[in-house]
């Protein structure tokens, strides 16, 4: 009890933050459910179609008509699911699909420079010269053969994730982690990478990412809403929340960031000179997200 009295602001602020995060989860539940239901329904339709192809029905007019109806249903589901799982364009994205070393190096530098400008414009702090998980490639002009297309795909996806964080106005972006897709990634800093890799099944490619940032509960809810409402098939797999630090975190000069909440007007001091005002704690949030990319069906 004595510890609670001495740390009253921390305890109450923690309870308030958890309550707001619960509200944020409920707020974003419908968006998650919409993506999940669409993907599960599509999976059921493909499974049904696969079971039908293994059967050997007679070529009667009734069976032919039923097959046409099922094909129509399948195409309808594909169109509906497609609106929730739109592909993210790779960077660069040449019309012929051939990416050269020079083309990727130029696109990488321009994209990182753009994100470094966008962060302070959105009041989001980032580390100086942060490479958004592409430190291993940033200083190169030649890249390991066979990995340029995968790197271009990831660059487009990392840019989309960063834009969700910037739009939410998080205080600070600590880092983005991605799967290794090139031999150049072997020598990159471990903090840029995940141990997991993309998984492909008969329906889609599922690519993992992890983002870590500092924010209050409102901005955290905005991040979840951003992933949930995105048309690109982002699915949040897990979220870990902990206090960002023991004391208030001041934003770096010129780097943006949301200042701590100000005391409410008219707050009266309590015993011992303490004000009876709640102050929300800054949180350090780690989100594991999976990007679902539907395979094209001919």
Which CATH number is 215's domain given? 3.30.70.60
Q: Domain range holding 194?
A: 1-55+63-248+280-298
Tens-place pLDDT, residues 73-111: 767 766 666 667 889 999 999 999 899 999 999 999 999
Q: What is the mean pLDDT of residues 223-241?
A: 94
This prediction has a pTM of: 0.68
Q: Provide the 3-class DSSP secondary structure of residue 212.
A: strand
In a domain, 241, yes or no: yes
Q: What is the mean pLDDT of residues 221-225?
A: 96
The span from the CA of 221 to the CA of 19, in Å, is 12
| HSE value, Cβ hemisphere, 13 Å, CA-based, for 238 | 6
What pLDDT score does 155 carry? 98
The chain-wide mean pLDDT, for the chain, equals: 80
Res. 267: pLDDT tops 50:
no
In a domain, 264, yes or no: no
236 contacts 32 by C-beta, under 8 angstroms: yes
In a domain, 195, yes or no: yes
In a domain, 107, yes or no: yes
pLDDT over 70 percentage in the chain: 66
Q: Beta partners for 241?
A: 285
Res. 126: pLDDT tops 90:
yes
Using 50, 70 and 90 to split pLDDT, how confident is the model at 62?
confident
With a CB cutoff of 8 Å and minimum separation 6, the contacts of 226 are 164, 165, 167, 168
What pLDDT score does 182 carry? 95
The span from the CA of 116 to the CA of 124, in Å, is 10
Q: How many residues are there in the chain?
A: 298
Q: Rounded to 5 degrees, what are φ and ψ at 269?
A: -70, 140
In a domain, 263, yes or no: no
Type and span of the H or E element at 281: none
Rounded to 10°, the helix 148-168/217-229 angle is 130
In a domain, 133, yes or no: yes
In a domain, 258, yes or no: no
What pLDDT score does 150 carry? 96
Q: Rounded to 5 degrees, what are φ and ψ at 205?
A: -105, 130
In a domain, 171, yes or no: yes
Q: Which of 199, 209, 198, 195 is nearest to 164 (CA)?
A: 209
Total domain count, the chain: 1
């Amino acid at each position: 009890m004595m510890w609670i009295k001495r740390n009253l602001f921390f305890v109450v602020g923690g309870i308030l933050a958890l309550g707001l995060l619960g509200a944020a989860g409920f707020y974003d539940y419908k968006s998650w459910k919409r993506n999940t239901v669409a993907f599960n329904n599509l999976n059921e339709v493909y499974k049904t179609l696969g079971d039908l192809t293994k059967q050997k029905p007679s070529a009667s007019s009734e069976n032919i008509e039923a097959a046409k109806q099922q094909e129509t249903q399948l195409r309808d589901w594909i169109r509906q699911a497609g609106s929730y799982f739109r592909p993210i364009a790779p960077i660069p994205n040449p019309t012929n699909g051939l990416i050269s070393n020079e083309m990727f190096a130029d696109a990488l530098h321009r994209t990182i420079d753009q994100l470094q400008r966008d962060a302070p414009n959105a009041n989001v702090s980032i580390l100086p010269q942060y490479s958004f998980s592409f430190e291993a490639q940033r200083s190169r002009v030649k890249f390991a053969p066979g990995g340029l297309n995968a790197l271009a795909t990831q660059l487009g996806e990392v840019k989309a994730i960063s834009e969700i964080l910037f739009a939410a106005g998080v205080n600070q972006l600590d880092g983005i982690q991605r799967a290794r897709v090139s031999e150049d990634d072997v020598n990159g800093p471990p903090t840029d990478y995940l141990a997991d890799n993309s998984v492909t099944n008969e329906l889609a490619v599922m690519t993992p990412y992890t983002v870590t940032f500092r924010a209050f509960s409102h901005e955290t809810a905005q991040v979840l809403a951003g992933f949930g409402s995105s048309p690109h098939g982002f699915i949040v797999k897990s979220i870990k929340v902990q206090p960002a630090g023991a004391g208030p975190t001041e934003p770096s000069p010129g780097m943006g960031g949301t200042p701590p909440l100000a005391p409410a007007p008219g707050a009266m001091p309590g015993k011992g000179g303490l004000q009876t005002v709640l102050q929300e704690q800054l949180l350090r949030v780690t989100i594991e997200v999976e990007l679902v990319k539907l395979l094209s069906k001919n």
